Amino acid sequence: MISIEGLRKTFTTKDKEITAVDGITLDIEEGEIFGVIGYSGAGKSTFVRLINRLEEPTSGKITIRDKEITALNANELRLARQEIGMIFQHFNLLWSRTVEENIAFPLEIAGVPKRERMERVQELIDLVGLNGREKSYPSQLSGGQKQRVGIARALANNPKVLLCDEATSALDPETTNSILDLLVDINKKLGLTIILITHEMHVIRKICQRVAVMEHGKIVEQGDVLEVFTNPKQPVTRKFVAQVMGTDKEDEDIHYLLSSIKEGKLLRLHFIGEATQESVISDVIRKYPIDINILQGKITQTQGGGYGTLFVQAKGEEAEIEKAVAYIREETSAEVEVVANDKRVISKHNI
């Protein structure tokens, strides 16, 4: 669907050159929600603006549905942009126009007749849940409502691609979730390919199928969201994952848990994908004469499945605990670690 090859953008200032996007090569599948995450200054917003040539690439090639965007002249690009919608962090609405007039604006530019235009506007108002606010001005809307207007406007010309540049960064958590749910709904109903730029990992977790991590203008890691969550390779990726999973506090948690148990073993279980649905604890209790005390746990859902960590205290004869650990390793899809009193993992089995 979208093929990006060797994409590069260099800005020239008075005394030096700054490379904002540095040789990105990437393929995005039709109909997927693809996330691009990075800290401020990573180059992600420049990258997304290069896709529809709001910024001109210094070099590289962008192809969308067999159309080479980087080779189009001005008139061809204007027509191609009708198939590429875009929403922004700060909405970019026309403040002197009502909701319906903002949504109708790209249709006016495209020369769509008024009757057809208004029918399309009403369809979009229904789609994004703005019924009753048609005559309102942006100053009369909440942040979430403004972004819904921005989404409807971006969809006016029936685009095949929707670019979202920090679309939820100016919103509170509850409103962010409602906008993300709307994007998922639009993706399913319309089959849109969505490229979502963000610095918030919970946004990636909630709606994206795949993710690319940017740092210093480069993509340093990419893959399915669940794989990136469970096996982050780069330091910057591990920081983002820690935002959601709380793994940055895990050493502190282990220290507290070890100090709180007076007998038995501390086990840490990891569950990935379908393993989160397995009745591992109840199976172990039925099979072995040991007691299991659940101390702490968390499961995080992604579009590709769940990922969870569970800390338990296993009490009983040491030989029976060892049998139970061996059973989890050999007969279930879970990963189990036995945590020693010096806070080092002394036994680990990987899926």
Tens of pLDDT, residues 188-228: 999 999 999 999 888 998 999 999 999 999 999 999 998 88
Q: From the first residue on, what is the mean pLDDT of each consecutive set of 10 residues in the chain (351 residues)?
A: 94 88 94 95 93 94 92 90 90 93 93 93 94 94 94 94 91 91 93 93 91 95 90 90 66 73 85 75 91 84 78 90 91 84 42 34
pLDDT of the residue at 250? 60
Residues 218, 41 contacting (CB under 8 angstroms): no
Gyration radius of the chain over CA positions: 25
What does CATH list as the number for 247-348?
3.30.70.260
Q: What is the predicted pLDDT for the residue at 248? A: 53
What is the bridge-based pairing of β-strands 193-198 and 33-37?
parallel
Write out pLDDT tens, residues 239-284. Answer: 888 877 655 556 667 777 777 788 888 888 888 777 667 788 889 9
- The CATH code belonging to domain 2-245 is 3.40.50.300
Instruction: Report domain extents, the chain.
Output: 2-245, 247-348
pLDDT of residue 89: 85
